[in-house]
Structure 1
Amino acid sequence: MSDPKDCLYCQNNQTLHDLMIEFAQLSVSRAFLFKEQTYRGRCLVAYKDHVNDLNELSDEDRNAFMADVAKVTSAMNKAFHPAKINYGAYSDKLSHLHFHLAPKYEGGPDFGGTFVMNPGKVYLSDAEYQELIDAVKANL
């Protein structure tokens, strides 16, 4: 497990802010909009404390975290109407519990396959990011 002093979520550092925009504090987690928007509306939910895996949480905290994840995906579904939202929880190199939430659209990038972690292709203006954030927040 990594040291919280080296963790971009725990340190809330510039690397984190270069990758994503925090838009909500939830019951036991934080919600972010991923800046790379190949998958329109892609978000991420990170647990509030430095834990590596769901199995490290109490039943109560795990259920609260998954409720936060479900709350964000529900808001994303209402805001963007994707065909499906893919979930990714890897943490191989960054051992802080977080879920990537990648909306997939029929005919869109990687539909029917695995989403790419960071394709590095689609970046938006600040106003466009704010529109996406407002759409999700309106449905939280």
Structure 2
Amino acid sequence: MTNCVLCKDELKPEGGQIIWRGDDCRVTLINDPDLPGFCRVIWNRHVAEMTDLTYGERDHLMTLVFAVEEAVRHVMHPDKVNIAALGNMVPHIHWHVIPRFKDDAFFPGSAWSNKTQETSKSILESRKQKAQQLPAAIKAVIANLA
């Protein structure tokens, strides 16, 4: 699909970096200034709904989502991890894996809600430093799946 941002940006993702790529999926680390450690697991082919995938493809995708969650929890030590697949704005299968903290800008709402508070610059900087460890941690967890 030519107008899909996730199809267009398969090799150069908007707002982030590819940290792992397989035949069917890729994992990106999103450059979100308010939510360091925000990742996406993206199905490479343009598919809109999970039920369009085979059972095996669904299992594979969710195994990767859970692997990313595991790495995010290990590295970021969040209060909670949000996992979401909305697709309303971008109808291409992708899962958001978002470390959440009680002091993040949107807590307790979703990452797409209005800000409820400001997180201190020092805390955000510390989380950005931790997030730099995510590529290696995610690759290690995925490597252990085989």
How far has the Cα of 1:98 moved from its partner? 0.4
Residue 44 of structure 2 is matched in structure 1 by: 48
Residue 13 of structure 2 is matched in structure 1 by: 17
Q: Which runs of no fewer than 5 residues in structure 2 stay unpaired? A: 116-120, 142-146
Q: Percent identity?
A: 21
Distance 1:118 1:52, change over 3 A: farther
Moved more, 23-32 or 90-99: 23-32
Question: Which residue identity is paired with 1:75?
Answer: A
Q: Which has the higher contact order (CA 8 A, sep 6+)?
A: 1
Distance 1:138 1:22, change over 3 A: closer
Residue 77 of structure 1 is matched in structure 2 by: 73
How far has the Cα of 1:90 moved from its partner? 1.3
Map 1:1-140 → 2, pairs under 5 A: 4-12=1-9, 17-26=13-22, 28-116=24-112, 131-134=132-135, 136-137=137-138, 139-140=140-141
SS of residue matched to 2:2: helix
How far has the Cα of 1:8 moved from its partner? 2.1
Q: Tell whether the 8 Å contact from 1:29 to 1:45 is kept in structure 2 after alignment.
A: yes
What is the CA–CA distance in structure 2 between the aligned matches of 1:118 and 1:33, rounded to whole Å? 22
Give the TM-score taking structure 2 as reference length.
0.75
Runs of 4+ in 1 over 4 A off after TM superposition: 127-130
The count of corresponding residues between Structure 1 and Structure 2 is 133
Distance 1:73 1:128, change over 3 A: same
Q: Which runs of no fewer than 5 residues in structure 1 stay unpaired? A: none
What is the CA–CA distance in structure 2 between the aligned matches of 1:67 and 1:27, rounded to whole Å? 14
How far has the Cα of 1:102 moved from its partner? 1.3
Distance 1:128 1:95, change over 3 A: same
What is the CA–CA distance in structure 2 between the aligned matches of 1:129 and 1:8, rounded to whole Å? 28
